[in-house]
Structure 1
Amino acid sequence: MSTSNMQSIQHSNYSDIYHLLYNNDKLAKQDIADQLNLSLPTVTSNLQRLIEQGLVIKNGQLKSLIGRRATAYSINANGLLGVGIEIFRNYATVAILNLKNEVQLLHTFELPFSNTTEYCQTLSNQLLNLIEDHNIQPQQILSAGIGIQGLISNDGNTILYGKILDCEGMKTSDFAQYLPFSVTFYHDADCVAIAEHVSLPTDGIFMSIGEHLGTAIILNNQILKSSSGRNGTMEHISLNSRDGRLCYCGRRGCIETYCSLNSLLHDNETTESFFDKLNQNDQEVRQRFETYLDYLAQSIYNLHMFVDIPIILAGEITKYLTTEILTDLKNRLKELSVFPEDESYLQFGSVLKHSVAIGASIPAIQNKINNI
């Protein structure tokens, strides 16, 4: 057998052992050997390598009815961490996740956004202080993902379009110069889709409804992308391009202007206060919500006609949506349908808070796992 083939087999064994442990809580050496059809010496040597590299730990002992209890092995989930940051107009939230995509830390900074060197330096310094305060070593951080309201270059380094925050032209180097790890930009709607997909893997159109509306498409477990950064930006499909509401993009009638929370709420009204009044059966609020659901159903149905895959409502609005609202929307969609529908294609997301920050941290983790 050639040296290259032997090295390939050795790497495969190493990788297979790690991924088997990743998908199990804990296993003994014999369990690993039996499931992967490997010899105990092979398992032992590879476990030792993984332990030395900080990827695997000894994790107590497994229960046994006879004889000595076997040492248990698990991945070192907290050995490496992904950082995600969601940037909005008046604040930024940091999410730190471990290799199991479990949230270890969520923290919000009150920090008005500006496309300036001062902003990038301040946010970077606050992130470093947060990491230090929680006894996290910089070398534990795989990288930082920044989810932002803008279209991103394919390499994740430049914001190509960003009218909401006036962030066009920002580069990851604006932040990375102050940080000891790499930085990548992500479209905020892509982050929401990634967070939801990790929670419940499915292909779909993800409608992220917050202050603004964002959409993203996942096909074959991958975000649909293009070199322009515009794939999935269905929020700018128009319901009424001539007389519709004016969108921040400059056009009229975009579904952003009918389905975002901005389109639902009055000035100085919060999402929480709106739904509190709705639950108290305030008639003005009820009528406003009925109109909103009409527009939302029309938009959902239009997207369904483009791509016949599940549609997942996600983002900030999710925590206020009930089974009754889901049933209501499904009934509206049935009334709109011109074709027979055997099953519902509408779902609600499950990541209720800071899904942009959570989703922004996940790609670095997935990349690390996939390359072990």
Structure 2
Amino acid sequence: MSDKGMTTMAVKKINKNKVYSFIRQEVTTSKLQIVQKLQMGLSTVSQNLKILEEEGLLEKNGYFESTGGRKAQAIQIRRTARISIGIGILKKMVHFVAIDLYGTVIFDSTQDIPYEPSLDYYRQLGLELEEFISENDLDRSSILGVSIATQGIIAPDGQSVSYGVIMDNIQMKLSDFTEFITYPCRLEHDSKAAAYLELWNHQEIDSAVVLLLNRNMGGSVITNRQVHQGIHMHSGIIEHLCITPDGPLCYCGCRGCLETYCSANALENASGMGITAFFQELGNGGSRCRQIWDDYLNHLAFAIRNLNIMIDGSIIISGYLVPFFIEDDVTYLLNQINSSSPFTLSREQILLGTQGQYTPAIGAALYYIREFLQNV
């Protein structure tokens, strides 16, 4: 093919992506608005709209109000023209989510499937995935892929878990899943997946620390809008910061890790109550729960204070426990952080996640959506 031919094809691809991206960004627009905002010729816009509609990526949904002439058709992307599925694997359960081209969850489900490194487990997971797809009447041809978030550090080649003490899943391999899942698949560390979701939700973020307050705590670091991985992929493992050298024994074999103070499991162990019951009692004014929660927040504040010294950015609190946070808790955290730090945090720097326990599964699923949007 000639250089001229390649250049023409490249330009067409760029124009197509520009038109599609603009429509997605605007949510609803018209042909004339696309022409004006993108400063493209009418014939170029019309041609790209035709191609995108033929590919099933666009839909026309009514008309704009007339401004004196013919009413303009309202153009939108088809949100479910492509779908990505995320699976969040925990020690005792599995979360399934399906997200659309805006990254919005359209279906979710939680199944009590305890992890075990066996062929039967991976076979059951494949069957549960197929049932999730069937029950929600998902178009299989629209599924871009299945991204699997698990507790454990993923090897640099993405093919296996290189460190997995919590679930004892160091033997977990991507090939275990692909034997029973027919869609494109990938593995993702659950904490890094949480960071990808926050980057998606907060376009203004440049640098941040993400604290994933799940059954077991997790963390990740964002710099220059990239999730930092490190040489051995364990950058940002905040849960193993040592808070007190002679503190409780952590699953990693060390003492006093942040995990032993600020995971949901640690909160349950301290209170002897389930999480929902604990926060109900806390809301009812239980003094013992108040003391336990203050201790929890004090340890979290201590960690955030130190992390803010290293990473000058946002602090994003995400995961299972976040729906239980109230504004008074954030105020308490800020007061504790700023009372002992040379560099104070503002309220605007502390962000709360919105997806609770499904955060890792959603964040993992976004991989295939981002990939598709870059290559429309």
Picking from 238, 243, 248, the partner of 1:245 is 248
Distance in 1 of aligned mates of 2:306 and 2:46: 56
Deviates more, 1:276-285 or 1:66-75: 66-75
Q: Would you say the 8 A contact 1:192–1:359 is kept in 2?
A: yes
- 1:260 is aligned to 263
Aligned to 1:31: 33
Query: 2:360 matched to 1:356?
Result: yes
Quick check: 1:107 aligned with 2:117? no
User: Given the two structures, how large is their TM-score scaled by the length of structure 2?
Assistant: 0.93
CA contact (8 A) 2:85 2:365 kept: yes
Q: Is it true that 1:343 corresponds to 2:346 in the alignment? A: yes
In the other structure, the counterpart of 2:218 is 214
Which of 158, 163, 166 lines up with 1:164 in the alignment?
166
- Counterparts of 1:25 and 1:57 in 2: how far apart (Å)? 11
User: Which of 122, 132, 135 matches 1:133?
Assistant: 135
Q: CA RMSD in A?
A: 1.7
How far has the Cα of 1:61 moved from its partner?
Answer: 2.2
* Structure 1 gap ranges (5+): none
Question: Per the alignment, do residues 46 and 172 of structure 1 end up closer, same or farther by CA in structure 2, a change over 3 Å counting?
Answer: same
Asked whether 1:178 is paired with 2:180, we answer yes
Does structure 2 retain, via aligned residues, the 8 Å contact 1:93–1:108? yes
Match of 1:95 in 2: 97
Are 1:308 and 2:312 matched, yes or no?
yes
CA separation in 2, counterparts of 1:105 and 1:21?
Answer: 24
Instruction: Give the 3-state SS of the residue equivalent to 1:358 in structure 2.
Output: helix
Per the alignment, in what secondary structure is the counterpart of residue 166 of structure 2? coil
Match of 1:47 in 2: 49
Task: Answer whether contact 1:153 1:227 (CA < 8 A) is retained.
Answer: no
Q: 1: CA distance between counterparts of 2:184 and 2:239? A: 30
Distance 1:145-1:268 versus aligned 2 partners, 3 A rule = farther
CA distance in 2, matches of 1:191, 1:349: 13
Q: Aligned partner of 1:244: which letter?
A: G
1:340 Cα shift?
Answer: 4.6
Identity %: 29
Cα deviations across residues 68-113 of structure 1 (Å, max 9, x unaligned)? 2222221111110010111112211101000011111011112111
Deviation at 1:268, TM superposition (A): 5.4
SS in 2 for 1:2: helix
Deviation larger for 346-355 or 17-26: 346-355
Structure 1 match to 2:22: 20
- 1:20-79: CA deviations, max 9, x gaps? 111012222222112112222111111111112222222222221323222222111111
Rounded Cα–Cα distance in structure 1 between residues aligned with 2:266 and 2:357: 21
In the alignment, which residue of structure 1 is the partner of 2:297? 293
Q: Which residue of 2 aligns with 1:368?
A: 372
- Residue deviations 1:293-335, cap 9 Å, x none? 2211111112112222211111111111111111111111122
Q: How far does the alpha carbon of each residue in 1:152-200 deviate from its partner, in whole angstroms, 9 at most, with x for none? A: 1233321111110111121112111222211111111112222233223
Match of 1:68? 70
TM-score, scaled to structure 1: 0.94
In 1, are the aligned partners of 2:337 and 2:345 still within 8 Å (CA)? Answer: no
- Cα distance, 1:118 vs. partner? 0.8
1:86–1:92 CA contact under 8 A, matched in 2: yes
What are the Cα deviations for residues 196-253 of structure 1, in whole angstroms up to 9, with x where unaligned? 3322332310001121110011222221113412011121111223x22111011111
**Residue 143 of structure 1 corresponds to which residue in structure 2?**
145
- How far the C-alpha of 1:349 sits from its partner, in A, is 2.4
Evaluate the alpha carbon distance shift between residue 185 and residue 358 of structure 1 in structure 2; reply closer, same or farther with a 3 A threshold: same
Once residues 60 and 282 of structure 2 are traced to their aligned partners in structure 1, the CA distance between those partners, rounded to angstroms, is: 52
Question: What secondary structure does 1:208 align onto?
Answer: strand
State how many pairs are aligned: 370
1:325 alignment counterpart: 329
Unaligned runs of 5+ residues in structure 2 are none
Q: Which moved more, 1:53-62 or 1:317-326?
A: 53-62
SS in 1 for 2:26: coil
Q: Report if the CA contact (8 A) 1:77-1:99 is conserved.
A: yes
Q: Can you list the C-alpha shifts for 1:4-34, whole angstroms capped at 9, x where unaligned?
A: 2222222221111111111012222222112
Distance 1:342 1:92 in 2: 36
Does structure 2 conserve the Cα–Cα contact (< 8 Å) formed by 1:196 and 1:351? Answer: no
Indicate conservation of the 8 Å contact 2:334/2:345, yes or no.
no
